[in-house]
Amino acid sequence: MADLIREVPGGLQVDGLCLLKSCCSCGGRSKPSNYGVGDCCLTYSMVRQENHTVAFFAKATTPNTTNNYEWGYRVKKGLVEVDVLVHDTRGPKDFEFGGKYPPPVSEWQKRGWEILSQFERALEEPPSSCRPEAEARKPETGRGMGRGVPPLSSPQPRQFREGAPKPQVTLTWRPLAGRGASWSK
C-alpha cells in the first residue's frame, strides 16, 4: 500500500491524485504602497508525509478576507491515510490564491478510498490587532511589549571633541586561498 504515495515535482501524488505545495510567485511585486507584500503573498499550500500518513494544509485567507471558514477531510485506503485542512474564504478576494487546492472528496471516493471524516466550520476572525486598519492605532510599546515599560530611547550619536580626528574604518573584501573569503580592516 505504500506504493500509493509517490513524490512528484512540487509535492506528492497519492493514488494518482496530486497534493501540491505552492506559494505566491509574485515575488512581493504588489502595489507600491504595500511595501512589496500583497495578500497573495500570505497564501500557500503545503504537504508532508510521515510513514503512511500524508498531511495537506492550504491557507487562502488573509487579514483582509471576510467570511472565513475551514474545511477538510480524512480518507483512508489500506494503511495509507490522507488528512486535508484548508482555511478558505467565501468573501470577496482581490488577489490570486498562492497555493493549490486539494482534490475534492468525490475524487477519492471514485478511487475506492474510505471517508473517515469530513467537516466545514466557521473560522474565527483574527484579533483586531492583526487587521491592517489597527496598525495605525497600535500603541507604542517598547521592551516590555505592552507591560507598562517605556520604550527604549534612541541612542544619541557619539560626539567627538572639537578638532579631534574622527576614526575611519575601511573594510575591504579579501579572498582567502582555499578558505573562502572574509572582511578585514
- Euclidean distance between CA atoms 7 and 97, whole angstroms: 23
Extract the C-alpha cell encoding 91. 468573501
Task: For the chain, give the percent of residues with pLDDT over 90.
Answer: 32
Q: At 10, which amino acid appears?
A: G
Residue of 37 and 77 predicted with greater confidence: 77
12-38 confidence digits (pLDDT tens) = 999 999 998 888 766 555 555 555 466
Q: In whole angstroms, how far apart are CA 141 and each of 82, 129, 130, 135, 138?
A: 44, 13, 16, 13, 9
Give 143 or 12, the one with higher predicted confidence: 12
Residue pair 58/45 in contact (Cβ under 8 Å)? The answer is yes
b/e per residue 8-23 (b: at least 16 CB within 10 A)? eeebbebbebbbbbbb
Q: Which residue has the higher pLDDT, 116 or 169?
A: 116
Phi, psi of 184 (to 5 degrees): -140, 160
Residue 28 is predicted with a pLDDT of 57
DSSP 3-state assignment of 59? strand
- Say which residue the cell 574622527 belongs to: 166
Q: What is the pLDDT of residue 143?
A: 46
